[in-house]
């Protein structure tokens, strides 16, 4: 499917993109090639393929939760750009 320059400009308008004439010509070719590839894919017989959201089964991979010794507080605060006593000093988020 070949796209026209007007169609590319309409797509650019919907995407809120400003394109030069050179970009319109380049994108017209690229988008036309993409659509032609989809036309080829539409010819593949998928009648025996069940619909699925995932091609492989999903499996959660979780690390076991183990207690460990923490770093000393002075070492943690050593690289803090601002600190106030034993705490990190940050700018207020809310007024």
Q: Are 15 and 7 in contact (CB under 8 A)?
A: no
DSSP character at residue 51: P
Who contacts 32 (Cβ-Cβ below 8 Å, separation ≥6)? 1, 2, 3
Q: Are 73 and 39 in contact (CB under 8 A)?
A: no
Predicted pLDDT of residue 56:
82
Question: What pLDDT, in 10s, does the model give residues 8-22?
Answer: 999 999 999 999 999
Alpha helical stretches, state H, the chain: 5-14, 21-42, 73-77
CA distance 16 to 14: 5
Predicted pLDDT of residue 94:
83
Q: Please provide the CATH number assigned to the domain covering 5-42.
A: 1.10.20
Question: What pLDDT, in 10s, does the model give residues 12-68?
Answer: 999 999 999 999 999 999 999 999 999 999 999 988 888 888 778 888 888 888 999
């Amino acid at each position: 499917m070949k796209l026209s320059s007007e169609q590319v400009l309409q797509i650019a308008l919907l995407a809120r993109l400003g394109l030069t004439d050179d970009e319109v010509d380049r994108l017209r070719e690229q988008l036309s090639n993409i659509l032609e590839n989809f036309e080829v894919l539409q010819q593949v017989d998928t009648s025996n393929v069940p619909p699925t959201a995932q091609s492989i089964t999903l499996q959660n991979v979780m690390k076991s939760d183990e207690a460990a010794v923490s770093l000393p507080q002075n070492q943690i605060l050593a690289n803090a750009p601002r600190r106030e006593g034993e705490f990190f000093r940050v700018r207020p988020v809310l007024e």
